């Protein structure tokens, strides 16, 4: 009798597990991917997709989900849900969709707001499979030069230059040639990178399994028997670098992707993943970053949804039972109510919990606990420069330039961020120069004879806070003078390496944290959202910081879910879709990836057989 009961229970349990993982329709399929069509160059036609303004009439009836914010995290969640035949509405406060993936044109020069290059897009990689699914094969990428990054440490005669190459084996071998006395250290770091990349999936799994189970596995130490990733995620980049080598220049190479947190306070695993991201190649969207929201929007519309701009959400509606059921959108002088059973916020933890939720919900302990898990990130300052001249005339290429005043990144950043407002512009310790016009092959015929450069550095929001209540483009002469002090010093530094810039410069605009807050909705101007410090990457916080929230039917997407950057935000969107749907879409992606790889292997075998005949 008891054996029969056990068998019935076991078969029911096994059937439930099978149904949960494999029994429901997948949002992804190889059949939805079709050959890319011709690129849409008519700006008016593009604007009809990317700049469709909010009105009541454009809101689809019987919505299944609302997404606040059209960054890559929100668009990923929206498209994944839409591809199951659901109606999704994406609401964007700016006048065009895309978040950090949007582009803008000024004086004939095109600039990307936040996407500078992407990796892991080689054939049948998971990231490429995702991109193909979200755009149904319509997004095309240009692979950048193998020499994709240059790092210069020091100034004037004392500077040292290092070049970073892509390539499964070439990246490591090229670095060994530049550090012949540290070959063993390079090997150790690349082994560390490999472990980090291989086992990161387990960290994502923490956010998908029940929280009680995740906490049990962590606190019992069982997860450490499975992978070292759970320990490495909370180890500082400086600690790992010190254990590998005493060569400070090499340590910079291990953590040169700055995002506002010194290596001492940042996760060694995340820093390793950033470099590993480009190991198999660096890429740029053909047609610019706005091609991403352009094609994803079409997929959302295909299934009955829409993406509407100039739609600032000012409140998430919560009923008496504590469940979210809609949002209000500010339209002129009135609030327009839009309802759906699923609400997804892609505008960050702080905007969501401190600004959009009703005051009585914000003060609840469970909401406060979620907010206290993270700290607001540092602001970014960007300079958009337009030059009259081709890349050949200017001596630029698709290679990015990273500049550091010295090789002690911890001390450099500590000193800079502790400076007062007046001292900061004259003591900038690091910056990056990137050239979108040289990365995009279509730029040559879309913007002939013109080249663009973006300079990026990190700054304190407090340095610009006195102007926070002023209006964009009307912040006053003192604001303009202050931000131009940053711009002039950074541009002069760039001109040391590109002497032709000064005489060819015809356009320049500076974006401060206030600019990022206005156009991107970035809390305190932090383009990388919540600070990427060791606290947020503690395994307990990783397990607790989930896509679901204490408010029923409200979910979080984007950079605050897993990690920063385009790839981090995209994976945040996938995790959010999986949570909202109650369906682990990652299994569907992995099965599709395996299917595509098997098909490719058969094609290669058939081709080899044909050559032998």
For residue range 198-245, list pLDDT tens digits in order.
988 898 999 999 999 999 999 998 988 888 888 889 999 999 999 999
Amino acid 40: pLDDT: 93
Amino acid 22: pLDDT: 54
Amino acid 586: pLDDT: 93
Rounded CA separation 237/268 (Å): 4
By C-alpha distance, which of 249, 240, 311 is closest to 269? 240
Given CA atoms 523, 529, 534, 539 in this order, what sign does their dihedral have? positive
By C-alpha distance, which of 232, 234, 236, 231 is closest to 266? 236
Exposure string for 575-601, b = 16+ CB within 10 A, e = fewer: bbbbbbbebbbbebbeebbeebeeeee
Structure tokens at 369: 């606990």
Amino acid 156: pLDDT: 77
Residues 315 and 328: beta-carbon distance below 8 Å: yes
Amino acid 363: pLDDT: 95
Amino acid 23: pLDDT: 58
Token pair 């120069």 is found at 433
Q: What percent of the chain has pLDDT over 70?
A: 96
Task: Answer yes or no: is 540 within a domain.
Answer: yes
By C-alpha distance, which of 262, 197, 249, 189 is closest to 228? 197
Amino acid 5: pLDDT: 43
pLDDT tens for 312-344 read 999 999 999 999 999 999 999 899 999 999 999
Q: What is the mean pLDDT of residues 485-490?
A: 98
Amino acid 405: pLDDT: 96
Token pair 């990056």 is found at 432
Distance set, CA 124 to CA 75, 133, 549 (Å): 21, 12, 33
Task: Answer yes or no: is 364 within a domain.
Answer: yes
Task: Answer yes or no: is 114 within a domain.
Answer: no
Computed over every residue of the chain, the mean pLDDT equals: 93
Task: Answer yes or no: is 324 within a domain.
Answer: yes
Q: What is the mean pLDDT of residues 441-470?
A: 96
* Low-confidence winner among 11-20, 177-186, 439-448 (lowest mean pLDDT): 11-20
pLDDT tens for 404-433 read 999 999 999 999 999 999 999 999 999 999
Structure tokens at 487: 């711009």
Amino acid 19: pLDDT: 43
The C-alpha angle 192, 195, 199, rounded to 5 degrees, equals 145
Amino acid 8: pLDDT: 45
Task: Answer yes or no: is 90 within a domain.
Answer: yes
Task: Answer yes or no: is 240 within a domain.
Answer: no
Is the pLDDT at 365 greater than 50, yes or no? yes
Is the pLDDT at 13 greater than 80, yes or no? no
Q: Are strands 313-318 and 324-331 parallel, antiparallel or unpaired?
A: antiparallel
Token pair 């898990």 is found at 373
Report how many domains make up the chain.
Answer: 1
Task: Answer yes or no: is 384 within a domain.
Answer: no
Q: Give me the phi and psi of 313, to 5 degrees please.
A: -75, 125
Domain extent, residue 557, equals 47-102+290-374+531-582
By C-alpha distance, which of 161, 141, 144, 163 is closest to 152? 161
pLDDT tens for 173-210 read 999 999 999 999 999 999 999 999 998 889 899 999 99
Amino acid 16: pLDDT: 43
Q: What is the mean pLDDT of residues 540-565?
A: 95
pLDDT tens for 32-81 read 999 999 999 999 999 999 999 999 999 999 999 999 999 999 999 999 99
Which pLDDT band holds residue 600 (cuts at 50, 70, 90)? confident
By C-alpha distance, which of 524, 275, 242 is closest to 409? 242
By C-alpha distance, which of 40, 61, 57, 59 is closest to 49? 40
Which pLDDT band holds residue 613 (cuts at 50, 70, 90)? confident
Is the pLDDT at 17 greater than 70, yes or no? no
Amino acid 12: pLDDT: 46
The total number of residues shown for the chain amounts to 613
By C-alpha distance, which of 339, 315, 341, 319 is closest to 328? 315
Q: Residue 300's domain is classified under what CATH number?
A: 3.50.50.60
Helices (H), 96-151: 126-135
Amino acid 1: pLDDT: 52
Rounded CA separation 594/524 (Å): 42
Indicate the pTM of the whole model.
Answer: 0.93
pLDDT tens for 93-143 read 999 999 999 999 999 999 999 999 999 999 999 999 999 999 999 999 999
Q: Give me the phi and psi of 234, to 5 degrees please.
A: -100, 10
Task: Answer yes or no: is 89 within a domain.
Answer: yes
Which pLDDT band holds residue 608 (cuts at 50, 70, 90)? confident
Name beta bridge partners: 556.
Answer: 345
Structure tokens at 93: 């406060």
């Amino acid at each position: 009798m008891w054996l029969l009961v056990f068998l019935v229970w076991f078969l029911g349990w096994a059937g439930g597990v099978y149904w949960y993982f494999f029994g429901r329709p997948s949002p992804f399929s190889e059949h939805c991917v079709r050959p890319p069509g011709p690129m849409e160059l008519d700006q008016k036609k593009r604007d009809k997709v990317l700049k469709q303004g909010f009105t009541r009439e454009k809101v689809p009836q019987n919505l299944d989900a609302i997404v606040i914010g059209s960054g890559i995290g929100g668009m990923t969640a929206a498209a994944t849900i839409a591809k199951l035949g659901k109606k999704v509405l994406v609401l964007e406060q700016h006048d065009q969709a895309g978040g950090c993936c949007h582009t803008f044109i000024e004086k004939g020069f095109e600039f990307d707001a936040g996407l500078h290059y992407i990796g892991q897009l080689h054939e049948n990689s998971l990231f490429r499979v995702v991109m193909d699914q979200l755009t149904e094969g319509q997004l095309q990428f240009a692979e950048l030069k193998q020499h994709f990054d240059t790092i210069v440490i020091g100034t004037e005669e004392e500077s040292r230059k290092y070049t970073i190459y892509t390539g499964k084996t070439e990246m490591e071998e090229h670095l060994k040639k530049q550090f012949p006395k540290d070959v063993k250290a390079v090997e150790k770091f690349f082994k560390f990178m490999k472990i980090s990349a291989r086992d990161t999936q387990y960290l994502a799994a923490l956010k998908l399994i029940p929280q009680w189970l995740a906490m049990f596995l962590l606190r019992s130490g069982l997860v450490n028997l499975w992978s070292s990733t759970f320990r490495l995620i909370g180890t500082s980049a400086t600690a790992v670098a010190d254990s590998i080598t005493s060569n400070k220049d090499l340590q910079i190479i291990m953590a040169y992707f700055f995002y506002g947190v010194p290596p001492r306070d940042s996760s060694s695993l995340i820093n390793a993943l950033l470099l590993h991201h480009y190991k198999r190649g660096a890429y740029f969207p053909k047609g610019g970053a706005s091609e991403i929201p352009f094609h994803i929007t079409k997929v959302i519309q295909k299934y009955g949804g829409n993406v509407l701009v100039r739609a600032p959400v000012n409140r998430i509606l919560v009923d008496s039972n504590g469940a979210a059921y809609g949002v209000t959108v500010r339209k002129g002088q009135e609030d327009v109510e839009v309802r759906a059973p699923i609400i997804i916020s892609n505008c960050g933890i702080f905007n969501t919990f401190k600004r959009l939720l009703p005051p009585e919900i914000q003060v609840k302990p469970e909401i406060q606990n979620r907010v206290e898990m993270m700290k607001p990130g540092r602001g970014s300052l960007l300079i958009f420069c337009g030059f009259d001249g081709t890349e050949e005339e200017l001596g630029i290429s698709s290679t990015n330039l990273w500049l550091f005043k010295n090789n002690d990144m911890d001390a450099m950043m500590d000193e800079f961020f502790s400076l007062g407002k007046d001292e900061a512009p004259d003591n900038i310790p690091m910056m990056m120069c990137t050239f979108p016009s040289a990365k995009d092959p279509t730029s040559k015929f879309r913007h002939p004879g013109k080249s663009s450069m973006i300079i990026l550095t990190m700054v304190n929001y407090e340095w610009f806070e006195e102007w926070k209540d002023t209006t964009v483009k009307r912040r006053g002469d003192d604001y303009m003078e202050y931000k131009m002090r940053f711009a002039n010093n950074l541009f002069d530094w760039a001109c040391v390496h590109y002497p032709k810039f000064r005489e060819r410069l015809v356009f320049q605009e500076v974006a401060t944290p206030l600019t990022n807050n206005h156009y991107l909705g970035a809390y305190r101007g932090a383009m990388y959202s919540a600070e990427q410090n060791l606290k947020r990457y503690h395994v307990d916080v990783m397990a607790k910081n989930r896509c679901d929230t204490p408010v029923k039917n409200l979910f979080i997407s984007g950079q605050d879910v897993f990690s920063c950057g385009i790839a981090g935000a995209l994976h945040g969107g996938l995790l959010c879709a999986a949570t909202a749907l109650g369906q682990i879409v990652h299994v569907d992606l992995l099965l599709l990836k395996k299917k595509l790889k098997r098909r490719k292997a058969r094609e290669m075998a058939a081709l080899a057989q044909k050559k032998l005949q």
